Chains A and B, each alone.
Chain A
Amino acid sequence: MTTHYLVLSALLFAIGAIGVLTRRNAIVVFMCVELMLNACNLAFVTFARQHGNLDGQIIAFFVMVVAAAEVVIGLAIIVMIFRTRRSASVDDANLLKY
């Protein structure tokens, strides 16, 4: 059963990665990042049960906390960029390029 969970986690992670690479809307990109973090959490929980200790669950818990903080800051940045540039597309925020 462990293998099944890990394959599911890998699939979700890869789908999230495809989303990050292909989507343009910054919010959707952000959701895909969240999906990847969730996939990692699933792997952590699975390994916790596999190895019979709770450290995996603790790490998953910390990942959740960090993800929540990251969402707050990331969405604030998106709102700020939207205010100044009137766009939520990641392609439009290219002023730091050169």
Chain B
Amino acid sequence: MGETITFWVLAVVSVAAALGLVFSRKAVYSALMLGVVMLSLAVLYAVQDAPFLAAVQIIVYTGAVMMLFLFVLMLVGVDSADSLVETIRGQRFWAAIAGLGFAALLALAVGNTLIAPAKGLTNAVKEAGGNVPSLAQLIFTRYVFAFEVTSALLITAALGAMVLAHRERVRPKATQRDLARARFSGPQPSPLPGPGTYALHNAIDMPALLPDGTIAAKSINRVLARHEEEDGVTPTDPSKAAIVKQLLVEERLAPKDEVPDDSHTDARAVVEDNVAQDDLRDEAATDEAETGGAVREAHQEDGK
């Protein structure tokens, strides 16, 4: 009776979470839904006399694999939404039809099979005295070769991940001397003004005020400005709105005239030389905006 209740509760939860995984627009929601499915499956294993697998499911899947998924989501960009353009026309529709047909076929085939009452594992685990000892006995006798091959597979996977994720440094790392030179030959040797200086609040979205009460353009957080623009929010203060607008225009123009050669010696260019890949320029620009300025970024790079 207890098992039946557990099964029905977890079956509903896991199927709902699986549907959520497939249909949620944001990848992070999908990952969380997958976590729910894995946890409920772990409980189902425990109910079915597989306590070791339940523990492994939680440790390996919800612990390691889900963390890996979330890390990669953060690396790749959480907001990378699915494109709605279909490469093959009608593919989604027919895929859904095929999937539903497949589900119906499997469920009906399994549901219509007459299955004898389960034998249960009590006899199987009696000899070794428990689930884990019995599994250990099997792994190290009948399945020992597969077990050894597994270790080779894991080592190969670890090496493969390192090789795939490794990036060769194309240019030499900028030294402290290079960074300092770039900083002092650049337009702004000092740190940029922080947000909130002399203003009413010191929140990140409050620009600093100059002594005459006007807004210091350099203290405006560019990332926030960009996001606000994307969301269609304009600052209530008209002078701030004008400055933000100008900043965004400058930012849009900026990548075109930026040539990372030696003549161009502001800090960002050095850092970019250091990053050394053209397609990483966006990232560098974002970093720059987030840390509040090229100089701060130089400091940061310095620290690494």
Contacts and interface: CB of A to CB of B under 8 A. Distances in A.
B172 to A, nearest CB: 21
Contact of B161 (A12, A18, A76, A83): A76
A71 B18 CA distance: 18
B83 A91 contact: yes
B210 interface: no
Interface stretch (B105-113, B192-200, B261-269, B288-296): B105-113
B72 A53 contact: no
Given A42-B41, A88-B76, A80 B164 contact: yes
B213 interface: no
Contact of A65 (B96, B121, B153): B153
Interface of A: 1-8, 10-19, 21-25, 27-28, 30-32, 34-35, 38, 41-42, 45-46, 48-55, 57-58, 60-62, 64-73, 75-80, 82-84, 86-89, 91
Interface of B: 3-4, 7, 11, 14-15, 18-19, 21-22, 27, 30-31, 34, 37-38, 41, 44-45, 48-50, 52-53, 56-57, 60-61, 64-65, 68-69, 72-73, 75-77, 80-83, 85, 87, 91-92, 95-96, 98-100, 102-103, 106-107, 110-111, 113, 115-116, 118-121, 123-125, 131, 134-135, 138-139, 143, 146, 150, 153-154, 156-158, 160-161, 164-165, 167, 277, 279, 282
